Amino acid sequence: MPTILRIGPYRFYFFSNEGDESPHIHVDRDDATLKAWLEPLELARSRGFRAKEINVILGIITDNRSTLLEAWNDYFGTRN
């Protein structure tokens, strides 16, 4: 379960067995969690985050999307 970023209270990571899915990122804070697709950026699911915080997290993902995609592609290989 590689952690890619830690920003404020948030941990951004993916599971090592998810290479068969489209690029995405998981984000945790305490007991709250969400999953977001990276291409295109879209919320897949969320539990425990309020809408305003989801928007903040999606903004962080937007600002760091190239880093997140690079980490995904480095770990799983570029999908063709």
Residues 1-39 have pLDDT tens digits of 799 999 999 999 999 999 899 999 999 999 999 999 999
User: How many structural domains compose the chain?
Assistant: 1
CA atoms within 13 A of residue 53's CA, in its CB half-sphere: 14
Q: Which helix (H) or strand (E) holds 34?
A: strand 32-38
Rounded Cα distance between 27 and 29, Å, is 7
| Coil/strand/helix, residue 31 | coil
Tens digit of each residue's pLDDT (9 = 90 or more) over 59-78: 999 999 999 999 999 999 87
| Coil/strand/helix, residue 66 | helix
- Residue 27 · residue 1 · CB < 8 Å: no
Domain region containing 64: 3-76
**What's the whole-model pTM score?**
0.92
